[in-house]
Amino acid sequence: MGGGARSGGLRTLVRLERRHVRANARFLLFAAGTDIDEERDLLDRAYQLYLLIFVAVSLALSFAQVLDLAGQLREGLGVTVSSQMAHLVLVLAPTAGLVAWGVSDLRETPLRLAAPDITWLARVVRPEELFVVRLLRDLPVIALVSAFGGALLGEIASAHLGLWAAMCAALMLAARLFALDTALPRSVAEPRRRRAATVVAYVIVAASGLALLLAAAPLAALLPRALSLGVYSVVVVLLVDLLLLGMAGNKSCYADMAFVIDDNELYAARRSMRFLALADSNAYKEACRRRRAQRHRRPRRTWRFRPGRLAPVSHALASLARRPSALLGLFSVGGLLVPMGALVMTLRPGAGVTLCWLVCACLSLREPLELGHVFREDCRNRLVRSLLPFGRLELLVLDALPALVVTLAASGAVSGVAAAAVGADPAAVVLLCCALDVLLALSCGLDDPAAPVRLGSVLVTGFAFSVLTLVVVGLASLLGTAPALACAALLVVLLARALR
Average of per-residue pLDDT across 190-202: 87
* Cβ-count burial 322-344 (b if 16+ within 10 Å, e if not): eeeebbebbbbbbbbbbbbbbbb
Res. 5 pLDDT band, cuts 50 70 90? very low
- pLDDT, tens only, 17-46: 777 777 777 777 776 777 777 777 788 788
pLDDT for residue 301 is more than 60: no
Give the whole-angstrom CA distance, residue 130 versus residue 109: 11
Q: What percent of the chain lies above the pLDDT cut of 70?
A: 85
Residue 250 has pLDDT above 90, yes or no: no
Residue 362 CB neighbour total at 10 angstroms: 14
pLDDT of residue 426: 86
pLDDT above 70 (res 204): yes
Does the pLDDT at position 120 exceed 70? no
461 vs 401, more confident: 401
At 392 the three-state DSSP class reads: helix
pLDDT for 265 beyond 90:
no
Q: At what angle do helices 194-214 and 161-188 cross, to 10 degrees?
A: 160
Residue 407 scores a pLDDT above 70:
yes
Instruction: Report, as an integer, the average pLDDT of 240-245.
Output: 92
* Percentages (nearest 5) of helix, strand, coil residues in the chain: 80, 0, 20
CA distance 389 to 368: 25
What does the pLDDT read at residue 243?
93
Q: Please give the average per-residue pLDDT across 114-128, as a whole number.
A: 70
Evaluated on CA atoms 230, 233, 235, 238, the torsion sign reads negative
Classified as helix, coil or strand, 409 is helix
Structure confidence at residue 175 (pLDDT)? 93
* Model pLDDT for residues 37-92, shown as the tens digit of each residue: 777 778 878 888 888 888 888 888 888 888 887 887 787 777 888 888 888 889 98
Q: Check residue 64 and give its pLDDT.
A: 85
Strand 458-460 relative to strand 453-455, pairing: antiparallel
pLDDT band per the 50, 70, 90 thresholds, residue 2:
very low
What Å distances lie between residue 32 and 26, 49, 54, 216, CA to CA?
10, 12, 12, 45
pLDDT digits (tens, 9 = 90+) for 133-169: 788 888 899 999 999 999 988 888 888 888 899 999 9
